[in-house]
Chain A
Amino acid sequence: MTIQSSGDTAPVTAEDFLNRPAGIGQRVHSVLHRQPALSPAIVLLLAGVAFALLNSRFYSLQNLSLVAQQVAVVGALAAGQTLVVLTAGIDLSIGAVMVLASLVMSKLVFDSHVNGLLALLIGAAVAIAAQAVNGLLVTRIKLPPFIVTLGSLSVFTAITLIYAKGQTIALQPGSFLLWTADTISIGSLHVTTGVLLMIALYAVLGFALRYTAWGRHLYAVGDDVEASRLAGISVSRVLLSAYMVAGLAIAVAAWILVGRVGGGDPNSGINANLESITAVVIGGTSLFGGRGVIFGSLIGALIVQVFDNGLALAGFDPNYQVLAVGLLVIAAVSVDQWIRSVKA
């Protein structure tokens, strides 16, 4: 099998080459095939232009800063989700793990007066351990990821509710855990450290996926498990690592969530599961595995947030945002299917 360093690993067949010089459709097909993040990037650009025409406030730096802040939690989560989806899996429990981790962090500081940094590390350990459980069930007991995480979604949500007793926790201003809410202002551009943290997460994971053996193995396993096994890749180790590194991304998301909420809240982030999957799908990562780039997920998350914000600014009923995102998901999967078909 062929693994290209661009992160696009669909094997290039002889037929592909033969068909290349044909019509425009074929050429577009070929470009999109090589650049999975291109179509979402075009959508984001067009959406930006459309919303700027609808309301002049949309492109104010102030508003764009807000969009960036709003996207940070789901963006970080979607980075983790991308790793799992690249292995041809899906993680339905990712949001539940985030909420659990954010509550563990907040409660340790609030109830047990644990040092903020230590609380953060324990929260991160909880997220990684939870994901290790998911990963082990997938690799050792060979359960489909969908079923495993469907079950663990309930388990982690229940643990969170039992642990939190439905209460919310407001942390004292200045608490270390609220660092992700600190703002760096340049004129009317207000970037939170949470946004920078999310970008750093993408940079690190993007680099790892593209330039390390681990990254290539992840793509390979997602593309064809059997071929990877024959090529000498330890499939179960790669799969387990995908879930555990996703756990790290979840921990980052949980930390950003704590900053945004100002503490722990079992009800906040409850929609993040599906939002992360939506971002990954719109971002051009194939649900069938092995195809996509992680930055696409950031673009996907941004598209959802831009629609949310842009439609609100233009005074639309919030239901139209739900409608728009739904259509985008269907469009994204259709494009993916079209790109996957060798003959356009």
Chain B
Amino acid sequence: MNHSDTVHVPNSRRQVGRTTAAAGLALCVATALAACSSSSTTAGSGSSSSSGSGGSKVGVSLILKTLTNPYFVSMENDAKAAAAKDNVSLTVAAGTKDGDTQTQISAIDNAISRGDKGILITTNGDAVNAALNQAKQAGLFVIALDTSPNPPSTADITFATDNVQAGKLDGQYAATALGGKPAVIAMLDLFNNQVVSVDIDRDHGFLQGLGINPGSTTQNGQEAKTGSYSGGSYTVACHQPTQGAIDGGRTAMENCLSANPNINVVYAINEPAAEGAYNALKAAGKAGQVAIYAIDGSCAGLKFVTNGEFTADVAQYPGKMASLGVDSIAKLARGGSKPSVTTGKSFYDTGTALVATKSVSGVTIQSPTDAASACWGS
């Protein structure tokens, strides 16, 4: 399902790049990065420090993957706003990097001993499960944000976005916008050297939106290379990894264009990859002639929709996940009911919206201006 965060997180994962060749060095560099990054356990609006008065104050811990990424910073900001509104004493902690479970476990232990009513967490890995189970036994309500833990029952509920649905919205729009013309598609994925759910979900969602069978449930690039989509015939020109970064997106798009100059549809795993693709198309004199489809919904990304760099962008709402989480625990602690999952899904879907400037029939769109009220980052 989700895991949309990995797309935005630079650190250690990205490091495992093309030159995995120099394996020994790769190992040491990975270790080096592991030791780096910034801000661990950042005390947010500190709990114990803030007023012992107002007996009804509810303690909530927000435990993020990292704080080096606008996606999680957005969660932190919106959670703080919700905490102020709900009379919640919020403690914010974060791993030092993607995969840092030890810092998260300490933060969970702290939440238990502090007597918090609930935990909101974007887990860095399965190693936190035991600590989360202890928290549940101690009576804390555990909400996973953005990504379901493995197994999902480790959390009481997950608040997340549906990445398959996000890809589908882009794909449906693309199919309609083509108006029956043959589609020559470049698929700019995240990685080629590891399987990440968000990568697969968005890629497959996009193909499904076009009416193309992905040919696999666990791998990218298994669809038939040619065939027919819902509006006509299609060719998949390439699947190239981008590492979710601008330079990777650019190189990937350049290689795709060399392989097939007739590409008219670009799927990009995230906004930076889409931006790189745009740079490549612009340099090739094809800016504006090729439709670029992105996913993320950051404030910066919406501007690219407004100025026509991206044909469409699917917005997701990390801040909403966090603020809803704070609201839910505050309500529950004051005698309210537990939040429940979205009908037909195993998690509470915080929603996605297709943002575009031109409307096409049969697809609901949101204007960049309307979407900007809920965008994240700056």
A144-194, CB < 8 A from B: 146, 150-151, 153-155, 157-158, 161-162, 165-168, 170, 181, 183, 190
Q: How far is the CB of B221 from chain A (nearest CB, A)?
A: 7
B246 within 8 A of A: yes
Q: How far is the CB of A123 from chain B (nearest CB, A)?
A: 17
- Whether B240 lies near A326 (C-beta < 8 A) is no
Cross-chain contact of B21 among A57, A166, A278 (Cβ < 8 A): A278
A157 and B33 in contact, given A168-B272, A170-B300, A312-B238 (Cβ under 8 angstroms): yes
When distances are taken between beta carbons in the complex, the residues of chain A under 8 Å from B243 are 267, 270-271
When distances are taken between beta carbons in the complex, the residues of chain B under 8 Å from A170 are 275, 300
- Whether B245 lies near A308 (C-beta < 8 A) is no
A309 within 8 A of B: yes
A92 within 8 A of B: yes
B11-57, CB < 8 A from A: 11, 14-15, 17-23, 25-26, 28-29, 31-33, 35-39
When distances are taken between beta carbons in the complex, the residues of chain A under 8 Å from B106 are none
B235-251, CB < 8 A from A: 238-241, 243-248, 250-251
B254 within 8 A of A: yes
- Whether A268 lies near B255 (C-beta < 8 A) is no
Cross-chain contact of B258 among A63, A92, A165 (Cβ < 8 A): A63
Cross-chain contact of A321 among B15, B18, B248, B300 (Cβ < 8 A): B18
When distances are taken between beta carbons in the complex, the residues of chain B under 8 Å from A55 are 259
When distances are taken between beta carbons in the complex, the residues of chain B under 8 Å from A318 are 192, 239-241
Cross-chain contact of B18 among A57, A317, A325 (Cβ < 8 A): A325
The interface centre, meaning the residue of A165, A167, A190, A270 with most chain B CB atoms within 10 A of its CB, is: A270
A260 within 8 A of B: yes
When distances are taken between beta carbons in the complex, the residues of chain B under 8 Å from A21 are none
B188-243, CB < 8 A from A: 192-193, 221, 238-241, 243
- Whether B70 lies near A158 (C-beta < 8 A) is no
A328 within 8 A of B: yes
A322 and B246 in contact, given A313-B259, A317-B221 (Cβ under 8 angstroms): no
Rounded to whole angstroms, the CA-CA distance of A275 and B248 in the bound complex is: 13
Q: How far is the CB of A96 from chain B (nearest CB, A)?
A: 9
Rounded to whole angstroms, the CA-CA distance of A193 and B38 in the bound complex is: 36
Q: How far is the CB of A252 from chain B (nearest CB, A)?
A: 16
- Whether A150 lies near B20 (C-beta < 8 A) is no
Cross-chain contact of B247 among A60, A151, A260, A308 (Cβ < 8 A): A260
Q: Sorted from nearest, which 10 A-B pairs have the closest CB atoms?
A: A154-B36, A271-B17, A326-B21, A268-B247, A267-B245, A312-B255, A274-B19, A318-B192, A267-B10, A161-B68
Chain A to chain B contacts (Cβ below 8 Å), 15 pairs: A146-B28, A162-B38, A166-B10, A167-B300, A267-B272, A268-B246, A268-B247, A273-B29, A274-B22, A304-B18, A315-B238, A318-B239, A322-B19, A322-B20, A326-B20
Other than the given A66-B258, A154-B37, 20 more pairs (CB < 8 A) read: A62-B258, A66-B255, A92-B32, A158-B38, A167-B300, A168-B272, A170-B275, A260-B250, A261-B246, A265-B246, A268-B276, A274-B19, A308-B255, A321-B18, A322-B20, A322-B21, A325-B21, A326-B22, A326-B23, A327-B21
